[in-house]
Amino acid sequence: MNQTRKLLDELVSGKITVEEAEKQLKLSFLDDVSGLAMIDANRGTRSGIPEIVFGESKDASDIIQIVHRMLNTQNAALITRLDQEKLDVLESKLKEKNIEVFGKTPLLSVIVSNKDWSAQETSGRIAVITAGTSDIPYAKEAEALAKLVGVDVLSFYDVGVSGIHRLIGPIKEIVEKDVDALIVFAGMEGALPTVVAALVDIPVIGVPVPTGYGFGGKGETALASMLQSCSPGLAVVNIGNGLGAASVASLIAIRAAKNRP
């Protein structure tokens, strides 16, 4: 339950007065963490996607301070782009919290939550597909975000165009399970999202991944290829932006689920 909903429930049940509710709402919008960060506590309520901590450019001690403060107003926080050293510090300093790890270093994503937290069920469904094994760490970041917002994920790895027959089973399952949106990760020439978008009537979000060789091998070729796709129904995010793709896919899925019989 988000903080605003909890506050409204307490008001309706008579646990707090109108004046107390008004005061808490005013205090909940922004929370200053020792000059390190301004936490947007109501972002999840306002936009559907809560504030996420980008861990790559922050010290472990700063991340811990921010997460502690976030968990005062929400029950879970997602930290992305951690290496093993930072994760070790988090696990040692946050022993009283639940910690779920996705991916591998240096692209670890972590959901830190209070002991009583479970994601709010939405009935939204997305699928994540990777062309190669090297793309999986970026896919894991997307899976972490989907879990945080209560969207179910079907994952299929290493089904790229060099072995196109491997895609048949995943596509069949995706259609049978009535998935709301697809995220397709591909490096190299970045062809897989175009192929997938040509096979389904589901919104596809392509994520170029910085895997490849030599010229254009840092995701530039994959990005250009996806942007020039001839398959309708394909949208593209920036190189490696699994989080952005998951945000869009999850919002699509949550809205679709609201209208499902």
Rounded to whole angstroms, what are the CA distances from 126 to 18, 51, 138, 148, 254? 40, 21, 16, 13, 10
Res. 31 pLDDT band, cuts 50 70 90: low
Q: Is the pLDDT of residue 168 over 60?
A: yes
Q: Which residue(s) pair with 208 in the sheet?
A: 186
Domains defined along the chain, listed by start: 3-113 (no CATH), 125-258 (3.40.50.1970)
Rounded to whole angstroms, what are the CA distances from 157 to 132, 136, 204, 258? 7, 7, 16, 29
Res. 30 pLDDT band, cuts 50 70 90: low
Residue type, 92: S
With a CB cutoff of 8 Å and minimum separation 6, the contacts of 153 are: 125, 126, 127, 128, 142, 143, 146, 147
Average pLDDT of the residues of the chain: 90
Q: Is the pLDDT of residue 5 over 60?
A: yes
Model pLDDT for residues 84-118, shown as the tens digit of each residue: 999 999 999 998 999 999 998 889 999 999 888 88
Q: Is the pLDDT of residue 35 over 60?
A: no
Out of 44-48, 89-93, 246-250, 255-259, least confident range: 44-48
- The model carries a pTM of 0.85
d(CA 197, CA 229): 9
* Best CA proximity match to 108, nearest among 70, 64, 140: 140
Q: Strand, helix or coil at 178?
A: coil
Q: What is the pLDDT of residue 41?
A: 67
Q: Is the pLDDT of residue 238 over 80?
A: yes
Q: What is the pLDDT of residue 34?
A: 54
With a CB cutoff of 8 Å and minimum separation 6, the contacts of 146 are: 126, 152, 153, 246, 249, 250
Res. 48 pLDDT band, cuts 50 70 90: confident
User: How many CA atoms within 13 Å lie on the side-chain side of 250?
Assistant: 27
Sheet of 53-54, strand order: 53-54, 76-82, 108-113, 98-102
Model pLDDT for residues 61-82, shown as the tens digit of each residue: 999 999 988 888 788 999 999 9
Q: What is the pLDDT of residue 27?
A: 62
Give the N- to C-terminal CA distance of the chain in Å, as an integer: 23
Q: Is the pLDDT of residue 224 over 80?
A: yes
